[in-house]
Chains A and B, each alone.
Chain A
Amino acid sequence: QSVLTQPPSASGTPGQRVTISCSGSNSNIGNNYVYWFQQVPGTAPQLLIYKDNQRPSGVPDRFSGSRSGTSASLAISGLRSEDEGDYYCASSDDSLRGVVFGGGTQLTVL
Chain B
Amino acid sequence: EVQLVQSGAEVKKPGESLKISCKGSGYTFTDNWIAWVRQMPGKGLEWMGTIYPGDSDTRYSPSFQGQVTISADRSTTTAYLHWSSLKASDTAMYFCARSEYALNGDFDYWGQGTQVTVSS
Contacts and interface: CB of A to CB of B under 8 A. Distances in A.
A96 B105 CA distance: 13
Interface residues of A, number: 28
Contacts of A75: none
A43 B108 CA distance: 15
Given A44-B111, A44-B113, A45-B110, A99 B44 contact: no
Interface string A90-108: 1110001111111110000
A103 B44 contact: yes
A101 B33 CA distance: 18
B105 A92 contact: yes
Interface stretch (A12-20, A29-37, A62-70): A29-37
Contacts of B35: 99
Nearest to A97: B103
Nearest to B112: A44
Interface string B36-65: 010000001111011000000001111000
Interface size class of B (residues with CB under 8 A): 20 to 34
Interface in B88-105: 95, 97, 103-105
B108 A99 contact: no
B44 A101 contact: yes
B45 A104 contact: yes
Contacts of B59: 97-98
Contact of A50 (B46, B60, B106, B111): B106
Contacts of B50: 99
Nearest to A90: B105
Nearest to A45: B110
B103 A102 contact: no
The 3 closest A-B pairs by CB, nearest first: A90-B105, A99-B47, A44-B110
Given A45-B110, A98-B60, A99-B103, 19 more contacts: A33-B104, A33-B105, A35-B107, A37-B45, A37-B107, A44-B110, A44-B111, A45-B107, A46-B110, A47-B106, A88-B44, A88-B45, A90-B47, A90-B107, A96-B62, A98-B47, A98-B49, A98-B59, A100-B47
Interface of A: 2, 32-33, 35, 37, 39, 43-47, 50-51, 56, 86, 88, 90-92, 96-104
